[in-house]
Amino acid sequence: MSGGIGMGGAALLMFMMSGVGEVPGFDPPTMSFMSATLAIGTLAIAGIVAGIYPARKAAMLQPVDALRAE
């Protein structure tokens, strides 16, 4: 979800920059489908790993027995 919002914001920013005018020696930014897909895929993998790793470690811990804790 956040990757799509970020890509939409970047596309909007590039669209706004394209209307500013030509600057000598400066090419207007463009977004390729492959780089957007690679960025969203990389962020998705990082988010999944960052969520699963600590959750798996926590699930492997022994539960605390509330009745015996004195």
Contact 31, 67 (CB under 8 A): no
1-56 pLDDT, tens per residue? 777 788 888 888 888 877 777 777 777 777 788 988 898 889 889 999 999 999 99
HSE at residue 23, side-chain half, CA atoms within 13 A, is 8
pLDDT bin (cut points 50, 70, 90) of residue 70 is low
Q: What is the pTM of this model?
A: 0.56
CA distance 51 to 40: 16
φ, ψ dihedrals at 62, nearest 5°: -70, 135
Sign of CA dihedral 47, 51, 52, 53: positive
